[in-house]
């Protein structure tokens, strides 16, 4: 992609569309979305104006954590199709000008993976050290106090080896020992397998969990907080079961491999209390990953101007500093419109929200249905699938509520492909179908297309530096600049009108959302001007 004579990699400033395959499109009527279903809807995705799709895991898995527990890294789970279906998907995406990104999960596998079956069989087999095995304390207790993300100790006893194995997530997700060079080699071979099948990049899941403290030191207690703690995991500073200083060296090996191919994009998922420092370490210079996936907005209970400016300030346009990727929603986080505004404000808020997303410096990631204004669905306990929500009911908001099927049509099954989808669509979301919004020129779907097109049309919005980010009460003023072009955005994140001085909004108006003018921002309005 060339902007003003400067050649940029395709991914820099890209808009990426996340697809959760179980819930996107069901091609065979079994109630679960699949790869042929995705392929059948790629024209829709391309029409949005995004540059790439990111497909959440579709690998062979017992589905205890819905694909993030991988039993075979080199194959497609039968519920999603076959390898040939994946190849067809990649071919069609490329025909439409879409890049294809997939997840890679290197911090753990499923306990049904052949590697783990061999590893647990004895203490002296060829893969004995491929997972984290530790003897019990003299009193039989686990070797450390580390806690699992999903609740309970991060150690499970295995009678075959008479040792504990580490799992930072479910007990069925044993921790791979990424300190072992052979395990790193195996992971890189998996990556090469998918690169050779034509993928254009990877989102690397839970990368900061890839290595543990080999001294097996206990985590210290977390300081007191006003925030409610629903898991033992929240009571510790996770100093030793994650965030190991050797992870960036493994990242360098990933980058060396991807550099053997053409224009491959890598983005790290990094959550936790020290995420900012880790994201920078994983993306530093030209020898690490291209980008890091920010959590700044995903769990925020309110969208504020200060939150936006604070997030952008962490990633200034400086040599050697990585490139950020932003998302307001994903498969793990509650839908943003259910967190950030009242029900009667959602229509206006959604238009302002997608306008703001399109103006952020970095890559922007839309989660399927976000362009329709989908909201969190309240899933009854007896229909839950999310293991974390089931274990911590009702104090953990179910991830299932953000994973509901895509509403293609306003009918009983939403055009998803089955009358009995794996999760209910939700009555409100069914009414926000693609079919209904395509027919309405004023819909959020059309507005999203317009904003993504605008982002591509203006170098300042696509890849420009942030030259100003100002907070005035509920108003955010964001200025971007590239190649002699400046775009200034005014965003009202509140429910009361805000007066503007016409002089500061002077210039050519390129977008006015929710009734914005150069002198007034109604509630949740946005104004973009080229100055």
Q: How far is CA 13 from CA 54, 358, 366, in A?
A: 15, 10, 13
Marked catalytic residue, from 26, 111, 205, 371: 205
Number of helices followed by number of strands (H, E) in the chain = 15, 22
Strands 59-60 and 133-134, by their bridges, are unpaired
Report the C-alpha gap between 144 and 466 in whole angstroms: 45
How many other C-beta atoms can be found within 10 angstroms of the C-beta atom of residue 531?
14
H or E element that contains 76: strand 72-76
Report the C-alpha gap between 56 and 40 in whole angstroms: 17
252 is catalytic: no
Marked catalytic residue, from 124, 260, 344, 427: 260
182 is catalytic: no
Strands 520-521 and 52-55, by their bridges, are unpaired
Question: In sequence order, what are the beta bridge partners of 157?
Answer: 164
H or E element that contains 268: strand 265-269
Asked whether the beta carbons of 396 and 228 are under 8 A apart, the reply is no
Report the C-alpha gap between 514 and 524 in whole angstroms: 7
Report the C-alpha gap between 321 and 326 in whole angstroms: 16
Question: In sequence order, what are the beta bridge partners of 475?
Answer: 472, 492
Q: Would you list the DSSP string of 247-304?
A: HHHHHHHHHHHHTTSSS-EEEEE--STTHHHHHHHHH-TTSS-SEEE--TTTT-SS--
Report the C-alpha gap between 419 and 433 in whole angstroms: 16
H or E element that contains 119: helix 114-119
Q: Where are the beta strands (DSSP E) in 124-182?
A: 133-134, 155-158, 163-166
Q: What share of the chain is helix, strand, coil (3-state, %, to 5)?
A: 30, 20, 50
Question: In sequence order, what are the beta bridge partners of 530?
Answer: 487, 508
Chain centroid to CA 451: 20
Enumerate residues 6+ apart whose C-beta is below 8 A from 45. Answer: 17, 19, 53, 96, 98
Q: Which of the residues are catalytic?
A: 205, 260
């Amino acid at each position: 992609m060339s902007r003003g004579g400067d050649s940029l990699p395709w991914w820099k400033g890209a808009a990426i569309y996340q697809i959760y395959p179980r819930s996107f499109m069901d091609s065979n009527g079994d109630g679960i979305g699949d790869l042929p279903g995705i392929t059948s809807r790629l024209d829709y995705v391309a029409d949005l104006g995004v540059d790439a799709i990111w497909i959440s895991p579709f690998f062979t898995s017992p589905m205890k954590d819905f694909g993030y527990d991988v039993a075979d890294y080199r194959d497609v789970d039968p519920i999603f199709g076959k390898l040939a279906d994946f190849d067809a998907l990649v071919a069609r995406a490329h025909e439409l000008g879409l890049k294809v990104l997939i997840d890679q999960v290197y911090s753990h596998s499923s306990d049904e993976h052949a590697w783990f079956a061999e590893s647990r069989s004895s203490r002296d087999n060829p893969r004995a050290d491929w997972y984290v095995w530790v003897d019990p304390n003299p009193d039989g207790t686990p070797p450390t106090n580390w806690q699992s993300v999903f609740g309970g100790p991060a150690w499970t006893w295995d009678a075959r080896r008479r040792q504990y194995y580490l799992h930072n997530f479910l007990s069925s997700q044993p921790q791979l020992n990424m300190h072992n060079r052979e395990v790193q080699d195996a992971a890189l071979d998996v990556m090469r397998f998918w690169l050779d099948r034509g993928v254009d990049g990877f989102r690397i899941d839970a990368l900061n969990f890839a290595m543990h403290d080999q001294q097996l030191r206990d985590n210290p207690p977390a300081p007191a907080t006003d925030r409610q703690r629903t898991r033992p995991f929240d009571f510790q500073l996770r100093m030793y079961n994650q965030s190991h200083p050797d992870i960036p060296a493994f990242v360098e090996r990933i980058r060396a491999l991807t550099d053997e191919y053409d224009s491959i994009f890598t983005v790290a998922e990094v959550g936790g209390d020290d995420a900012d420092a880790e994201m920078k370490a994983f993306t530093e210079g030209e020898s690490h990953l291209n980008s890091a996936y920010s959590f700044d907005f995903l769990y925020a209970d309110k969208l504020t101007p200060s939150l936006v400016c604070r997030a952008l300030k962490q990633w200034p346009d400086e040599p050697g500093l990585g490139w950020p990727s932003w998302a307001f929603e994903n498969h793990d986080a509650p839908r943003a419109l259910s967190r950030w505004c009242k029900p009667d404000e959602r229509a206006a808020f959604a238009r302002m929200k997608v306008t703001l997303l399109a103006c952020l410096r970095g890559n922007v990631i839309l989660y399927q249905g976000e362009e329709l204004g989908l909201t969190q669905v309240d899933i009854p306990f007896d229909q839950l699938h999310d293991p974390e929500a089931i274990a911590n009911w009702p104090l953990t908001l179910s991830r299932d509520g953000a994973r509901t099927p895509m509403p293609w049509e306003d009918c009983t099954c939403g055009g998803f492909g089955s009358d009995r989808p794996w999760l209910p669509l939700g009555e409100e979301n069914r009414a926000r179908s693609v079919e209904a919004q395509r027919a309405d020129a004023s819909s959020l779907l059309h507005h999203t297309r317009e904003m993504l097109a605008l982002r591509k049309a203006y170098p300042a919005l696509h890849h420009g530096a942030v030259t100003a980010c100002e907070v005035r009460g509920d108003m955010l003023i964001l200025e971007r600049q590239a190649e002699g072009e400046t775009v200034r955005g005014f965003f009202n994140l509140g429910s009361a009108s805000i007066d503007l001085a016409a002089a500061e909004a002077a210039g050519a108006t390129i977008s006015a959302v929710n009734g914005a003018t150069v002198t007034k921002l109604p509630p949740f309005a946005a104004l973009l001007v080229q100055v």
